[in-house]
Structure 1
C-alpha cells in the first residue's frame, strides 16, 4: 500500500483552537502553540536525562542499545509519519511522543516498581502521573511559572494516551480500577479538568500506538544484538517469522547485521501501514467532524487491525521470557532495584543528604511530604547518577553488568 500525506482532517487538533495554558502567555510570533510545547519539552532537563535512563539494558552495557532518549526519538519519528498520513496535527503528536516517557525513573520498569513499593503508603508511584508532575511543577526554568506551562491538549494526551482513566461518574477504570487514579493526576484535576472519562485526541492515540511499534521492533533488534535469542528463533513467531522467511527468499546469504536491519525496517513499515489502514477504516465508520467527537467515541480511533493485534501480541509473548525475563536482564534489574530501595530509605531518614533545592522546606514536614519529595528526587535520577549516589553512602554498589 502506497502511503501519502493526507490533507488536514476535520477531527485533527488545531493549535489555533487550543484550550490554552494554565498561565496565560502572549502568543509566539514564529510558532503555534503545539510547536511551542515540543520545543519546551526538548529543552527541559527531564528530556535530557532520558539519555542515561534504561530502556531494557542499563546504559553502559553498550553504545548501540536503546536508551529512553533514543527510544523516545524513534517513537517521535513513527508518530509524525502516522499523523502525516492521517491528516492529524504533527506537532501535537510529536509533543506527546517526546513527553511520554519523561516520568520514568532510573532502571526502567524495575525502578518504577521499587518506587511504587516505597511509596505505597502515600499513594504509590506511576510514571504517567510523574510525567504530569514534571511538566506542571517539578521543572523550574521559567520566571513566571513552575513546570513547562504546556497546552491543555498536550497535558490531556500525556495523561490519557492509553485511554480513559475513569467513567463519567468518576470511578477509576482499566489499569487504575483497583488502586484508583494516581494522586498527582487527581489533584491536578482540581485546577484543570482533563476529562479523565473520555478518550484523548487522535494525536495522543497515535503517540501511544507509536510507542508499541517502536519498542516491539527495537527490542527485537536489541535482543538480537545482545545474543539473548537468534534470528532463527523468530521463525515461529507469526508475522515476524513471515518477514524473516521473505528476506531469506529475496536475499539469500545476507549478513546478520543487514538481515536484522531489514527485518526491523519491514516490521515498522508494515505496522505503520496497518495502523494507517485500520484507523482510516474506524474514522470513516464514525465520520467525526471535530476532535471532540473523537474524544466522545466509544472506542479508540487509532488501532491495529485484529490480525496485527494478534501478531503484535505474539511478538510480546516471544520477547517476554527471552528478553524482559531473561536471567541476565533480571539479575541486573534485581540489583538495580536494590539500589533504589537503599537510596529511598537513606534519603527518607537523612533528607539533609539531598541537594539543597530538594531538602528546602522539609523541616517540620510530615512523613508523606518527605516521602513524596524523596520519590521525586530519585525518579529524576539517571541510571549513572543513582549509582554514583549509592556509592556515596554504601560500600556494596553493584556493577550492574
Structure 2
C-alpha cells in the first residue's frame, strides 16, 4: 500500500503536460494571457459555453422529466460533470500532472451528449445508421467546440488548445486514422497524455458511486440487496456501521459511498504510479509510445468495479421502470428525427444553412443533439403529437 507521503510525490521526469509546448497551440494564434495558463483559459471557455449550460437539462440516469421521482436532487449531466472535474483535478494534483488540463478535459468530457443520456445517444445513432452515418458524443463534442459555439467575432468555435481537443477525442477510446482521417492532427497512432487518460476512469468512479447514491435514494435499489451482491459496497458498509452504530441509515450509506470513492481514487493513483515505474517512463513521449494506456485500476479493484457496475446494469439501469423511460426516450428521438427529415423547413435557419455542406441527416442529428430533455419533449409534442 502506498503511503500518504508517496501519494503526494509527483510522477518522475517530464510526464506532465506543462502547457508551454505544442499542446497549448490553438487553431487561431492568440497572445498569452497575463495571469492564466492556456488550459485555465480552456476551462473558462467551456464553463461559459451554451452547450455546457445545457447539460443542466440533460439526463444522467433519471430523465429531467421523470415526474414520479421523490425529489429533484438527482444528478443531471451537469452535476455529474462537476463531480468528474473534482476527481480529475485531485488525481492530477496528487500525481504531479497538470491539474488545469485535467479539469478542463473533465468539464468538456460530456459536452457532446444528446438529450436523455445514453438512451438518447443510442437512439440518435440508430436513426443515423439508415443514412450510412453514426453518432459519437466525443466526435460531436469536437464539432461543438470547433464550430457550433459562436462567442468570438474572430473565429467560429472556442479556439481551444490542441491538448484539449486531443483529449476530448481520445480520453475514452482510440480512433483509427484509416476510418477517421479527419482526425489526423490528434496523434491517432499515439497514446494520449496521462491527464486525458485519467478522465475516463474519473468518469467511471464518479458515476459508479453516484448511481448507487441516486439508485438507493430513489428506492429502486435497497441497501440489503446491494450488500448481498456488491462486495465493494458491503465491505465499507459493514465498516461504517461498526464505527458508527447509532448513525442514521442514510448517513451510513453516504459514508460508505465516500469510502468507496476514496478507495477507487487511491487505487487508481497507486496503479498509475506502478505502471509508470514498470514502464520506466520519464517523459510524455514515453507515455505516448507505451504499449497500453497507463491509467487503470489494479486487477483486484477492477474486478470489484466491474461487479458493482454489472449489478447497476441489472438492477438499476435496466430495471423495469428505467427500461420504460429508455423506450420512451428512443421513441421521442426517432420520431422527431423522422419528422425533421421529412420537413427540413422545421429546422432553425442556422441549421438549414448547414445542410449543403453537412447533409440533411447530420444536420438534423446536430439539432437534436443540442436539445435539453425538456426542449425535445416540447418540440416532439408539437410536431409529432399535435
Q: What is the aligned partner in structure 2 of residue 13 from structure 1?
A: 17
Greater CA drift, 42-51 or 251-260: 251-260
Q: What is the aligned partner in structure 1 of residue 341 from structure 2?
A: 348
Q: Normalising by structure 1, what TM-score? A: 0.90
The correspondence for 1:384, drawn from 362, 369, 374, is 374
The reply to whether residue 291 of structure 1 matches residue 301 of structure 2 is no
The correspondence for 1:100, drawn from 105, 109, 113, is 109
Shift of 1:145: 1.4
Distance 1:26 1:123, change over 3 A: same
Shift of 1:140: 1.6
Whether the aligned pair in 1 keeps the contact of 2:233 and 2:257 (CA below 8 Å) is: no
Off by >4 Å, runs of 4+ in structure 1:
none
The reply to whether residue 217 of structure 1 matches residue 209 of structure 2 is yes
Distance 1:56 1:290, change over 3 A: same
The reply to whether residue 144 of structure 1 matches residue 136 of structure 2 is no
Whether the aligned pair in 2 keeps the contact of 1:339 and 1:390 (CA below 8 Å) is: yes
The correspondence for 1:58, drawn from 58, 63, 73, is 63
- Equivalents in 1 of 2:246, 2:335: separation in Å? 50
Greater CA drift, 218-227 or 26-35: 26-35
Unaligned runs of 5+ in 2: none
Shift of 1:353: 1.4
Q: What is the aligned partner in structure 2 of residue 358 from structure 1?
A: 351
The correspondence for 2:27, drawn from 22, 25, 40, is 22
Shift of 1:8: 7.2
Shift of 1:188: 4.1
Shift of 1:351: 1.6
Which SS does the other structure have where 2:20 is aligned? helix
Whether the aligned pair in 1 keeps the contact of 2:221 and 2:315 (CA below 8 Å) is: yes
The reply to whether residue 81 of structure 1 matches residue 90 of structure 2 is yes
- Equivalents in 1 of 2:22, 2:215: separation in Å? 42
Shift of 1:306: 0.7
Distance 1:2 1:60, change over 3 A: farther
Q: What is the aligned partner in structure 2 of residue 281 from structure 1?
A: 274
Which SS does the other structure have where 1:239 is aligned? helix
Shift of 1:30: 1.9
Whether the aligned pair in 1 keeps the contact of 2:125 and 2:135 (CA below 8 Å) is: yes
- Equivalents in 1 of 2:297, 2:354: separation in Å? 48
Q: What is the aligned partner in structure 2 of residue 174 from structure 1?
A: none
RMSD: 1.7
Alignment size in residue pairs? 375
Greater CA drift, 370-379 or 8-17: 8-17
For residues 236-283 of structure 1, give each alpha carbon's deviation from its aligned partner in whole angstroms, at most 9, with x where no partner exists.
312221111111211224212211211111111111111111111111
The correspondence for 1:227, drawn from 211, 219, 227, is 219
Q: Normalising by structure 2, what TM-score? A: 0.93
Unaligned runs of 5+ in 1: 172-179, 397-401
Q: What is the aligned partner in structure 1 of residue 253 from structure 2?
A: 260
Whether the aligned pair in 2 keeps the contact of 1:274 and 1:308 (CA below 8 Å) is: yes
